[in-house]
């Protein structure tokens, strides 16, 4: 199995970006992870100590090669009328849950690879799939594979897709010989648009992120302090403000992944509809999306806080 063949198969499976990486410990990420941990900036969603997060063999002891993919999720919408009485869903939650979509695409890729293995008499490739479901650092693997550079908004930025793409990893038990990737130079320069756009200055110098000031994190957090509650004013789930202003995210091509496609009114639902959600309606509307994992209670709470902070009265 060659890198060239896998790249062709990935394109056939609807994968926009693909790269390869060694499964040596991700030591280049360790100082950053330790610093975040020591400063108390871990969210609790990552799982594992910093040393665990760089250890591919702990995640899959038989790993010989890593494959990382990216799938575009960018869409642009016209502004919807009555914006004040609507809430925003960040791009991470548009359409079907990206965990499922990426795992499906990666499974299709591996099935194609193993079909060729059968046809050529090769051994079947065993593998493990990862999409935010392990301590592994997805962006670290993608950077090592040459898919992008670290932006000041803490996202990985690709010169083709900007930061609007999801990352998935495959650890396989076979050796794939691949051309060492060219690591892209950082493209942020002196730009600080994302830092200035963040309403609560969650983003700091040196590519840092203070979670309790980050709207995206707060919409997912189970319990909020009084200071944190007043920060929810627009986004029901997630936040795209730091991505929207990024120069690398202008004039992007929209996603071709049908599972992610929605319309403007779905991305910006009426506030009253969210507040009135029944359990059944929640499951139908959000059960298969990435924002459904926290449950109805979190979304209702967020909607109540947005209504209060926008000073919208009955």
CA-wise closest residue to 164 among 249, 239, 79: 249
Tokens linked to 297: 């209670």
* Angstrom distance (rounded) from CA 55 to CA 136: 7
* Angstrom distance (rounded) from CA 60 to CA 199: 40
Active site residue 16: no
Helices (H) and strands (E) counted in the chain, each on its own, are 14, 10
Calculate the alpha carbon distances from 75 to 13, 138, 164, 189 in Å. Answer: 20, 22, 9, 26
3-class DSSP state for residue 158? strand
Q: List Cβ neighbours of 185 (8 Å cut-off, separation of 6 or more).
A: 149
Candidates 16, 82, 132, 227; catalytic one: 132
Please give the backbone phi and psi of residue 12, each rounded to the nearest 5 degrees, phi first.
Answer: -65, -30
Dihedral sign of CA atoms 270, 301, 199, 218 in order: negative
- Specify the residue for token string 């071709």: 256
Name the residues annotated as catalytic.
132
């Amino acid at each position: 199995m060659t890198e060239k063949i896998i790249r062709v198969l990935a394109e056939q499976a609807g994968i926009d970006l693909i790269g390869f990486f060694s499964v040596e410990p991700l030591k280049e990420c360790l100082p950053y992870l330790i610093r975040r941990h020591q400063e108390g900036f871990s969210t609790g969603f990552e799982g594992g100590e910093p040393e665990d997060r760089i250890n591919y063999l702990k995640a899959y002891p038989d790993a010989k090669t890593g494959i990382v993919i990216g799938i575009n999720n960018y869409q642009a919408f016209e502004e919807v009328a009555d914006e004040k009485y609507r809430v925003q869903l960040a791009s991470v939650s548009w359409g079907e849950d990206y965990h499922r979509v990426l795992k499906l695409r990666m499974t299709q890729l591996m099935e194609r690879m193993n079909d060729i293995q059968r046809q050529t008499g090769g051994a079947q490739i065993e593998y493990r799939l990862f999409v935010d479901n392990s301590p592994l650092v997805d962006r670290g693997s993608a950077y090592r594979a040459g898919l992008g550079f670290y932006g000041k908004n803490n996202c990985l930025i690709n010169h083709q897709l900007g930061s609007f793409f999801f990352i998935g990893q495959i650890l396989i038990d076979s050796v794939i010989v691949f051309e060492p990737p060219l690591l892209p130079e950082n493209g942020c320069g002196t730009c600080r648009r994302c830092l200035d756009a963040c309403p609560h200055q969650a983003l700091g110098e040196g590519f840092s992120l203070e979670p309790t000031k980050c709207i995206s994190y707060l919409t997912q957090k189970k319990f909020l302090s009084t200071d944190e509650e007043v920060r929810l004013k627009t986004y029901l789930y997630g936040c795209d403000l730091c991505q929207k202003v990024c120069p690398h995210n202008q004039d992007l091509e929209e996603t071709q992944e049908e599972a992610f496609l929605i319309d403007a009114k779905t991305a910006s639902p009426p506030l009253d509809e969210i507040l009135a959600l029944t359990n059944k309606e929640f499951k139908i509307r959000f059960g298969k999306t990435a924002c459904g994992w926290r449950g109805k209670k979190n979304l209702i709470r967020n909607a109540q806080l947005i209504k209060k902070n926008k000073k919208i009265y009955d």
